[in-house]
Structure 1
Amino acid sequence: MARAAAIEPDNPSTYRGGSGEPLVLVHGGGGTPRLWRTTIPLLEPHHDVLAVTLAGHFGGSEIRRGGATLEALVAAVEADMDEAGFDTAHVAGGSLGAWVALELGRRGRARSVVAIAPAGGWERGSREVRRVVWIYRTLLTGSRLLGRFAHLVAGRPRLRRLAAWHHFAHPERISPDDFEYMIAAVGAPGLLEGLAWALTAPGAENLHEITCPVLLAFPETDHILPRPRYGERIVKAIPHAEVVELPGVGHAAMVDDPELVARTIVVFAARHAAAQPAGVAER
């Protein structure tokens, strides 16, 4: 069984550990830093890792009604970076967290960006964004219906697969405790606020202004933001970005295959580091 970082339910807002060049991890919509638990121990030998919680999400800072904008989410992460003493850092994010990571790159706060299953690859009010909002509203309703029965689903691999096939290629690999925690986290108010904002907000904008190295990493079996529908607009907007496919994983790739995701981040960051970390080699 993979080692896991000690991100506890009673103190989930941030996690910091490891040594090396700074690395910020940003989870996706409805998630928490706990999604990175089995990836973090693989990153810590190479990086000073800061895993943050998005504002309005479970364990994160509160966000005013109607205030769940990209600007607010990014500002909160920048505040976490400032508190940690990170003027700049390598940044890796998944889904909404990847969108935040790209914006940090645009603002000059990122040394490099690894964007996994990046959100934002849609146009304002498009069919694509309406589809994503519908999916997450359905997930929110489902998490509320599960409620006190969540532990029953979490404890049965087949039920976990039925409940989470859209996010994970391998729900059976998730521990029951982590799965139950994920269900609870989806109900945080920031997700509903974010859905209301996403319907009327433009997709990712001004990505051509990003000058730092960018790796766009698309999961092979992403049922939430499949590359053909959501990725190509982002690929075209960042001509200098490198693009890879992550084989055998779903939308939440860091849960499906922590080793693959950690290797992807470490190798890319090492290529763009001030000094090459020992023991890192490209494959």
Structure 2
Amino acid sequence: MSSGKSSVVLFHGVTMSAAAWEGVVPWLTDHHDVVALTALGHRGGPVVRERPVTVRDIVDAAERMLDDRGIAQAHLAGNSLGGWMAIELALRGRALSVCALSPAGFWDGGGHGQTDAVRKLRRTIALVQLTRRVQPLALRSGVVRRLALRDIACRADRLTAAQALTAATDLIECAVTDDVLGTEEQIASVPSLPCPITLAWSEKDAILPPAVNGRIAQERFPQARFEILPGVGHVPMIDDPKLVAATILATTGAVPAVTGVPSASPDADG
């Protein structure tokens, strides 16, 4: 039976899984039915049948997952690759609104804004792969968690050891990492937005910096709302899940905007 609430569908970044949203989901459920999906080729998601996999293939698979759940339209939110997916789904008419958190796909034809991101992600991937045997012990240390994930979060020590180990396992077992990091696809400009879109960029993003990728995004989507999320890294769900939830809820219209309040509660009664 339907709850009467509109749905929010969440999409994670490359190498991650729906588990990336664990800290955010509880802050959304008072206002929306929440669905966190794991993308094609990622651990726990649909299995890849043919290679190479394109971002378009991943979006196609996500659209099939919406169809399977009977979701014609929903509020969509995503981080990095997930933000790109949400925007592409919106262009297909599947979104009531989009909250794209440091979305990937905003680079120029020469790869400007993509090369550094890929290099840093590959460095993180190599480190995680090399240290797999010692991770169950090493990730018990908050200092180790913070250092190991410093390119994607400012305060990865806020994760539990179990959460960090899940993220590491997701990364190692992602089947489409090379395909996605090697893509030449990008998000093109559109004459008008298909729905309200918020581009919420992490202030401390070391992977897709707001001064580079955020600038390109603003140039291509000038009608979108653009805001900076203070004090958080590329995966802001790690650093401040409450701020992320509040940003999503402001985009859906469930609560007022809370820009500039890094630890604001998304409770409607404030």
Q: Same fold (TM over 0.5)?
A: yes
Query: Are the structure 2 counterparts of residues 249 and 146 from structure 1 closer, same or farther at C-alpha, using a change threshold of 3 Å?
Result: same
Secondary structure of the 2:99 match is: strand
Secondary structure of the 2:114 match is: helix
Indicate the residue corresponding to 1:232 in structure 2: 215
Instruction: Answer yes or no: is the 8 Å Cα contact 2:193–2:224 preserved in 1.
Output: no
Instruction: Answer yes or no: is the 8 Å Cα contact 1:24–1:89 preserved in 2.
Output: yes
Aligned counterpart in structure 1 of residue 245 of structure 2, from 262, 267, 273: 262
Query: Are the structure 2 counterparts of residues 100 and 207 from structure 1 closer, same or farther at C-alpha, using a change threshold of 3 Å?
Result: farther
For residues 29-76 of structure 1, the C-alpha deviation after alignment (integer angstroms, 9 at most, x for no partner) is 111111100110110111111100110111111224533212111111
Indicate the residue corresponding to 1:140 in structure 2: 125
Query: Are the structure 2 counterparts of residues 85 and 238 from structure 1 closer, same or farther at C-alpha, using a change threshold of 3 Å?
Result: same
Distance 1:128 1:190 in 2: 21
For residues 151-193 of structure 1, the C-alpha deviation after alignment (integer angstroms, 9 at most, x for no partner) is 1221001111111111111111000000011111112111122
For residues 226-267 of structure 1, the C-alpha deviation after alignment (integer angstroms, 9 at most, x for no partner) is 111111111121121111111111111112111111111112
For residues 85-130 of structure 1, the C-alpha deviation after alignment (integer angstroms, 9 at most, x for no partner) is 1100000000010011111111110000000011111123424322
Distance 2:248 2:191 in 1: 22
Higher helix share: 1
Count of aligned residue pairs for this structure pair: 257
Pair 1:193 & 2:182 matched: no
Pair 1:26 & 2:11 matched: yes
Distance 2:234 2:30 in 1: 26
Secondary structure of the 1:167 match is: coil
Query: Are the structure 2 counterparts of residues 193 and 202 from structure 1 closer, same or farther at C-alpha, using a change threshold of 3 Å?
Result: closer
Instruction: Answer yes or no: is the 8 Å Cα contact 1:19–1:46 preserved in 2.
Output: no
Q: Which segments of 5 or more consecutive residues in structure 2 lack a partner in the other structure? A: 256-266
Secondary structure of the 2:53 match is: coil
Distance 1:26 1:221 in 2: 21
User: What is the percent sequence identity of the aligned residues?
Assistant: 33
Distance 1:47 1:271 in 2: 9
Q: Which segments of 5 or more consecutive residues in structure 1 lack a partner in the other structure? A: 1-16, 273-278
State TM-score, norm by structure 2: 0.89
Instruction: Answer yes or no: is the 8 Å Cα contact 1:19–1:49 preserved in 2.
Output: no
Aligned counterpart in structure 2 of residue 76 of structure 1, from 34, 57, 61: 61
Indicate the residue corresponding to 1:220 in structure 2: 203
